[in-house]
């Protein structure tokens, strides 16, 4: 099932603004399916960028494809533990992540439990963003996404939020520019 036909939510002036961040390659260095504590290395400026977003009233939401679970490279529990570690380490630096949404399903799954031909949450589909918008009363018109792939930009477009493509090197400098500071 594709979610191309999903209608983006209307602007919600009573909702809150949010920034959707991809995980690997935006917040942390993409070392190839990171899932262990020793794999966690932050992109330069990641904590400062999230602090800046927090200070400007944005809910920060991580939206991440995690096909390593479906491919049998690590377990769902390991994925959740890595996400929790990332949130804790950023929190210790004063950078608050409000929510994490992860999509472990993939069409090349080794485990049939994680097989899905085109899961609505797997970017470029907008499912994770749309669920976060509904779950947290987010106003898509005042929100945006930062990702490092075209699939992130497509998910943002389909969810009705602006998208900004990040290619490094410093996330804080990038966020500073996006916010026009």
Question: Is 106 within any annotated ligand binding site?
Answer: yes
Catalytic residues: 22, 24
Q: Which two tokens stand for residue 93?
A: 């630096």
Q: What are the backbone angles phi and psi of residue 42, rounded to the nearest 5°?
A: -80, 145
Question: Is 24 within any annotated ligand binding site?
Answer: yes
Is residue 149 within 8 Å of 26, Cβ to Cβ?
A: no
Question: Is 30 within any annotated ligand binding site?
Answer: no
Helix, coil or strand: residue 45? coil
Query: What b/e readout covers 13-44, taking b as 16+ CB neighbours within 10 angstroms?
Result: eebebbbbbbbbbbbbbbeebbbeeebbebbe
Edge to edge, the sheet with strand 144-147 lists 99-103, 59-65, 18-21, 144-147, 162-165
Count CB-CB contacts under 10 A for residue 122. Answer: 23
Based on the number of CB atoms within 10 Å of its own CB, is 104 exposed (0-12), middle (13-18) or buried (19 or more)?
Answer: buried
Strand ranges (E), 42-127 = 59-65, 99-103
Q: Which residues fall in the annotated binding site for Zn(2+)?
A: 103, 106
Q: Which residues fall in the annotated binding site for Mg(2+)?
A: 22, 24, 148
Q: Which residues fall in the annotated binding site?
A: 22, 24, 103, 106, 148
């Amino acid at each position: 099932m594709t979610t191309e036909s999903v209608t983006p939510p209307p602007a919600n002036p009573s909702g809150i603004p949010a920034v959707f961040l991809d995980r690997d390659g935006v917040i942390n260095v993409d070392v190839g399916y990171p899932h262990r504590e020793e794999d966690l290395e932050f992109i330069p400026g990641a904590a400062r960028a999230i602090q800046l977003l927090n200070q400007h009233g944005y809910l920060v939401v991580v939206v991440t494809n995690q096909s390593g679970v479906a491919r049998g490279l690590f377990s769902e529990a390991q994925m959740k533990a890595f996400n929790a570690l990332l949130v804790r380490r950023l929190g210790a630096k004063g950078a608050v992540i409000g929510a994490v949404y992860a999509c472990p399903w993939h069409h090349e799954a080794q485990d049939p439990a994680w097989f899905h031909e085109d899961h609505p949450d797997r970017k470029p589909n907008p499912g994770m963003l749309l669920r976060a918008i509904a779950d947290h009363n987010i106003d898509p018109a005042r929100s945006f996404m930062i990702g490092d792939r075209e699939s992130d930009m497509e998910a943002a477009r389909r969810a009705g939020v602006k998208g900004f493509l990040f290619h490094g090197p410093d996330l804080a400098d990038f966020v500073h520019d996006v916010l026009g500071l």
